[in-house]
Amino acid sequence: MRVLFLIFGVLYLLSTVPPARSFIYIDECPSEYYNCRMKCNADEHAIRYCDDWTICCKLKYIEIEKQKRGR
């Protein structure tokens, strides 16, 4: 009987705990240094996938510094 309660308890916990990062994970590219495209440029690196399975590309830190100095 205890084993049955243990199994039901574990199943209950698994059903109530939300999947990891489900409520904090953002599927879009958030700022001006991010772009969704099929292939990243040479001055970018891939971060994650966007909604339509394109790649979220971020400018490399060196390129961001060059843009800030140029302003």
Note whether 48 and 30 are within 8 A (CB): no
CA distance 10 to 57: 40
Domain-embedded: residue 8:
no
Question: What pLDDT score was predicted for residue 14?
Answer: 74
Question: What pLDDT score was predicted for residue 12?
Answer: 83
Domain-embedded: residue 15:
no
Q: Is the pLDDT of residue 66 over 80?
A: no
Total number of residues shown for the chain: 71
Domain-embedded: residue 70:
yes
> How many domains would you assign to the chain?
1
Domain-embedded: residue 40:
yes
Domain-embedded: residue 38:
yes
Question: What pLDDT score was predicted for residue 20?
Answer: 56
Question: Would the pTM count as exceeding 0.75?
Answer: no
Structural domain that includes position 57 = 28-71
Helix count (H) and strand count (E) of the chain? 2, 3
What digits encode the pLDDT tens for the residues 2-52? 888 899 888 887 777 665 555 555 556 766 668 888 999 888 888 888 878
3-class DSSP assignment, residue 65? helix
Domain-embedded: residue 23:
no
Structure tokens belonging to residue 31: 């700022």
Domain-embedded: residue 36:
yes
Domain-embedded: residue 63:
yes
